[in-house]
Structure 1
Amino acid sequence: MTTVLITGANRGLGLALAQQYAADGAEVIVCCREPARADALKELAASFSDRVRIMPLDVADESSIASLKRMLADKPIDILINNAGINGLSVNEIEAEGWMTTMRVNALAPMLIAQALRDNLRRGSEKKLVAIASILGSTSSAGGGKYAYRASKAALNNGMRALSRDWASDGILVGILNPGWARTKMGGDDGFISPEESARGLISRIAELTPATSGVFQDYRPGVTIRW
């Protein structure tokens, strides 16, 4: 049975990913800051009581990441999906505190989580580390606004690209995936696709990951590579 761990799984894209993986027969570890208030996850766990486990995780808190590692111990993880993120504080301003918070959650946290769970990935059969990126992190196509968010996603891309090279000797494959503009709380109501459609595409791209596509910036749609 495939074991998938998803951060930021209490709503939106993370929840859609958890629902589809559970329906497909995977064991799903869903992480969020406040499990007691995650009603949708509790419903999912009740529906798949033997295969869905809710675990607390505040990705911005290193002690919370360490606690997650202790709870998981040596459990093998086949697919680790770093989905948790924020839309960027001080959206169209350059303001230190909001910028640094955005960078910590979107760029640093996925690297720290990957580092903490590296041995769990090594023990897995698929060994796939996934970052939910954004086309707004593409320097080649960068527009205006959303300064902190764009910078954080570009940093995430760069860090994950480096891991795809440095961890290749462990057999770990790194997916850097743009989910498209989905209609979520973070993406807003004007998105082009539903979270479910995005999740289906992402799951397909994750299933198709190979050494040739590890560390490549890909879209949720098949065959679409995004320029750095």
Structure 2
Amino acid sequence: MHKHLFITGANRGIGHCFVKEYLSSGWQVTACCRDPSKATQLLEFQQTNTQLVIAKLDLEQLEQTNLNSLKIPKQKIDLVIHNAGYYGPKGVNFAEINLHEWRKVLEVNTIAPLALTHQLFQAAHLSNPCTIAFVSSKVGSMADNRSGGGYYYRSSKAALNSIVKSLAIDLVSHNIKTVALHPGWVKTDMGGPNALIDPETSVIGMQQVISSLTEQQSGSFIDYQGKTIPW
């Protein structure tokens, strides 16, 4: 039986590349995005991949979302990748705090991944064993913050990292491992054209980290090259 990946933010950038790589490896993939009708690349994949299911999921509307409406395949999920993210306004400094935007960043990057994990767990969608990977960012590292600023995104990823660590402890008895991943500075809509690596390089590296993740590493913060990042 094929293994099953459930991924958010699957319609572009890193998420789209994850879908491509796991489909090519023979996995069943449930790819979530806000508007499947506009996910042209996913729709193209679906024409030649019967293992791909595209699901409409808005992470800002999780409380109104019934998982049954996503038509998730009955096969248990072996890997969850929380990839969807929102950066918010760039160049934010201490004098320009916008609470509405900050809440939106926290909702998508921090609250939704935990809430969705809880829903999948409660609905018994997760396999035994299962791995849950959270695409975080090095900017969420306290030790690495030498430039200040970035309040919305930094705080959302630092909080996400804390969630990953707690889940590793709380879910160990269910044979579930977790990991926070730093994808590197990637050439995507969020990363911009000056980024250092392409999505394929990042995703292939993160795939290797996920596939080789040990129980001892569960709850760790690891970059796409397999290096542990300080909290």
Q: Does 1:186 align with 2:187?
A: no
Distance (Å, rounded) in 2 between the aligned partners of 1:73 and 1:119: 16
Which blocks of at least 5 consecutive residues in structure 1 are unaligned?
none
Correspondences of 1:158-197 after superposition (within 5 Å): 158-197=162-201
Which blocks of at least 5 consecutive residues in structure 2 are unaligned?
none
Offset at 1:74? 5.6
Q: Does 1:132 align with 2:171?
A: no
What's the counterpart of residue 157 of structure 1?
161
Listed one character per residue, the Cα deviations across residues 86-111 of structure 1 (whole Å, up to 9, x for unaligned) are 11236413211111110111010100
Q: What is the identity percentage for the equivalent residue pairs of Structure 1 and Structure 2?
A: 35
Listed one character per residue, the Cα deviations across residues 171-204 of structure 1 (whole Å, up to 9, x for unaligned) are 1000111000000001111111000110100111
Q: Does 1:16 align with 2:21?
A: no
Distance (Å, rounded) in 2 between the aligned partners of 1:3 and 1:73: 9
What's the counterpart of residue 111 of structure 2?
108
Distance (Å, rounded) in 1 between the aligned partners of 2:61 and 2:221: 27
Correspondences of 1:19-58 after superposition (within 5 Å): 19-48=20-49, 50-58=50-58
CA RMSD of aligned residues (A): 1.8
Offset at 1:118? 1.3
Q: CA 1:34–1:78 in structure 2 vs 1: closer, same or farther (change >3 Å)?
A: same
Q: CA 1:141–1:12 in structure 2 vs 1: closer, same or farther (change >3 Å)?
A: same
Offset at 1:148? 0.3
What's the counterpart of residue 152 of structure 2?
148
Listed one character per residue, the Cα deviations across residues 125-178 of structure 1 (whole Å, up to 9, x for unaligned) are 440111000000001111222210000000000011101101111010001110
Listed one character per residue, the Cα deviations across residues 33-70 of structure 1 (whole Å, up to 9, x for unaligned) are 0001100000111121x201100000111245434576
What's the counterpart of residue 95 of structure 1?
98
Amino acid at match of 2:194: D
